[in-house]
């Protein structure tokens, strides 16, 4: 079975759109995502453009904060603190990687946890670890969404996650653990990766190594989630899994492209709606305080 990420992403986007319309009807508020882009990195510009387009399609408003590579760390933190205090900004998307000279960890930690739609703030990662997640990193959440949509049984399953990044591998392992899978996390220092992979009922691969998982490393009947996105010298986009060989053994597998990829933006917008709902309708998080003396919608810094 092919796990169609585009289809699942569309289902999530439809739900987000309905939620946006409900929020507007109930409290007259449109979720607003502040998009912060520093520097001139071409792929980041494309990612940001795609995210904005998807946001607009579901009715989430966006506001751009685009700065040249010369923005200092201090200026970036000032911008983020100002956005934290803006009542009408519900989510802050800080496009990574940042430019050289900017400290990503400090910047992420400066975003108010309730506006951290990427789920990377230490508070949000801590909540995930504590088993009480609020906002979950988008790609990891997208993998779970696919598995749930197609009815994968996770309880008691042997789940193997290859990759331990903060962005994907670690949060994904936590999500699987929370669903009562027995989770093994593999990484560059793992001895005999193939042996671990072969035991997996659910094999999630997020290493960024084209075709590192060969057919013989996939257990017969496994669910395979391929997070990797790699561009070969030929220009072809491939995953971390050898799809042709693995799909002969797997019960279910995500293709690349068209698998996990479309889920990331869908989950970002789901997180944005959730952030707006919690801030406007209450919940376990307190709404952000308004900043005295600042008009709604006023840009914190002149555009460069
Ligand atoms: P990363 O480089 O931060 O982390 C890669 C992880 O894989 C590391 O923990 C490393 O230990 C492990 N690893 C690398 N080579 C390995 C090997 N040979 N054996 C075992 N472990 C190995 O990358 P990331 O940000 O987690 O992304 C991983 C992949 O997922 C990349 O291809 C990236 O492009 C892709 N990605 C896709 C989406 C999406 O929307 N589908 C989102 C984020 C990342």
> Mean pLDDT per 10-residue run, the chain (304 residues)?
98 98 96 97 94 97 96 97 97 96 96 98 98 96 98 98 98 98 98 98 98 98 97 95 98 97 97 97 53 42 41
Q: How far is the CA of 180 from the centre of ligand 1 (A)?
A: 24
Q: Do 80 and 144 sit in the same domain of this protein?
A: no
Residues 49, 47: Cα–Cα separation, whole Å: 5
Q: Do 199 and 247 sit in the same domain of this protein?
A: yes
End-to-end CA distance of the chain: 50
Q: Do 86 and 147 sit in the same domain of this protein?
A: no
Residues 195, 166: Cα–Cα separation, whole Å: 24
Q: How far is the CA of 127 from the centre of ligand 1 (A)?
A: 23
Domain annotation covers residue 298? no
Q: Do 226 and 146 sit in the same domain of this protein?
A: yes
Query: What residues form DSSP beta bridges with 225?
Result: 204
Mutation to probe ligand 1, out of 189, 207, 241, 261 (largest number of atoms < 8 A from CB): 207
Residue 249 belongs to domain with CATH number: 3.40.50.720
Closest by alpha carbon to 82, among 259, 296, 272?
296
Domain annotation covers residue 168? yes
Residue 167, domain extent: 138-253
| CA distances to 157, 184, 209 from 199, in Å | 10, 10, 20
Domain annotation covers residue 184? yes
271 within 8 A of 91, measured Cβ to Cβ: yes
Does 118 participate in catalysis according to the annotation? yes
237 within 8 A of 256, measured Cβ to Cβ: yes
Q: Do 188 and 227 sit in the same domain of this protein?
A: yes
Atom of ligand 1 nearest to the CA of 259: 41
Q: How far is the CA of 228 from the centre of ligand 1 (A)?
A: 6
Q: Do 156 and 246 sit in the same domain of this protein?
A: yes
**Residues whose CB falls within 8 Å of the CB of residue 297, separated by 6 or more in sequence, listed in order:** 88
Domain annotation covers residue 118? no
Q: How far is the CA of 23 from the centre of ligand 1 (A)?
A: 36
Q: Do 52 and 105 sit in the same domain of this protein?
A: yes
Domain annotation covers residue 282? no
96 within 8 A of 47, measured Cβ to Cβ: no
Atom of ligand 1 nearest to the CA of 240: 32
Residue 85 belongs to domain with CATH number: 3.40.50.10860
**Ligand 1 surroundings by CB, under 6 angstroms:** 139, 162-165, 167-169, 186-188, 190, 193, 206-209, 212, 227-230, 260-261, 264
Q: Do 69 and 146 sit in the same domain of this protein?
A: no
Atom of ligand 1 nearest to the CA of 230: 32
Ligand 1, atom 18: nearest CA belongs to which residue?
A: 188
- What three-state secondary structure class fits 42? helix
Q: Do 164 and 248 sit in the same domain of this protein?
A: yes
Closest by alpha carbon to 109, among 100, 118, 101?
118
Q: How many domains does the chain have?
A: 2
Does 95 participate in catalysis according to the annotation? yes
Ligand 1, atom 42: nearest CA belongs to which residue?
A: 139
Catalytic residue among 52, 115, 116, 118: 118
Q: Do 155 and 69 sit in the same domain of this protein?
A: no
Domain boundary among 223, 253, 283: 253
Mutation to probe ligand 1, out of 163, 187, 210, 266 (largest number of atoms < 8 A from CB): 163
Q: Do 162 and 106 sit in the same domain of this protein?
A: no
Mutation to probe ligand 1, out of 105, 160, 227, 260 (largest number of atoms < 8 A from CB): 227
pLDDT given for residue 282 in this prediction? 80
Does 174 participate in catalysis according to the annotation? no
Domain annotation covers residue 22? no
pLDDT given for residue 304 in this prediction? 41
In this structure, are strands 230-231 and 237-238 parallel, antiparallel, or unpaired? Answer: antiparallel
Q: Do 59 and 103 sit in the same domain of this protein?
A: yes
Domain annotation covers residue 44? yes
Q: How far is the CA of 209 from the centre of ligand 1 (A)?
A: 7
Domain annotation covers residue 294? no
């Amino acid at each position: 079975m092919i796990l169609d990420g585009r289809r699942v992403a569309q289902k999530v986007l439809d739900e987000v759109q309905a939620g946006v319309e409900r929020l507007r009807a109930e409290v007259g508020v449109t979720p607003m995502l502040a998009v912060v882009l520093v520097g001139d990195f071409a792929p980041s510009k494309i990612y940001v453009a795609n995210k904005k387009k998807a946001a607009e399609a579901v009715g989430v408003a966006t506001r751009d904060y685009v700065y040249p590579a010369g923005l200092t760390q201090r200026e970036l933190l000032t911008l983020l603190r100002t956005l934290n205090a803006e009542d009408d900004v519900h989510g802050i998307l800080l496009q990574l990687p940042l430019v050289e000279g900017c400290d990503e960890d400090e910047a992420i930690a400066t975003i108010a946890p309730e506006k951290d739609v990427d789920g990377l703030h230490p508070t949000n990662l801590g909540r995930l670890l504590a088993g009480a997640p609020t906002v979950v990193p988008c790609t990891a959440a997208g993998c779970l969404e696919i598995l749930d949509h197609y009815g994968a049984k996770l309880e008691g399953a042997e789940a193997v996650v290859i990759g331990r990044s903060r962005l994907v591998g670690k949060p994904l392992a936590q999500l699987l653990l929370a669903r009562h899978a027995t989770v093994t996390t593999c990484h560059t220092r793992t001895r005999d990766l193939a042996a671990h992979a072969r035991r997996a009922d659910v094999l999630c691969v997020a290493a960024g190594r084209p075709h590192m998982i060969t057919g013989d490393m996939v257990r017969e009947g496994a669910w395979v989630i391929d997070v990797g996105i790699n561009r070969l010298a030929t220009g072809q986009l491939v995953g971390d899994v050898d799809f042709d060989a693995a799909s002969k053994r797997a019960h279910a597998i995500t293709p690349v492209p068209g698998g996990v990829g479309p889920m990331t933006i869908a989950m970002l917008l789901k997180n944005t709606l959730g952030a707006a709902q919690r801030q406007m309708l209450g919940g376990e998080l307190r709404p952000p305080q308004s900043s005295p003396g600042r008009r709604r919608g006023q840009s914190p810094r002149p555009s460069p």
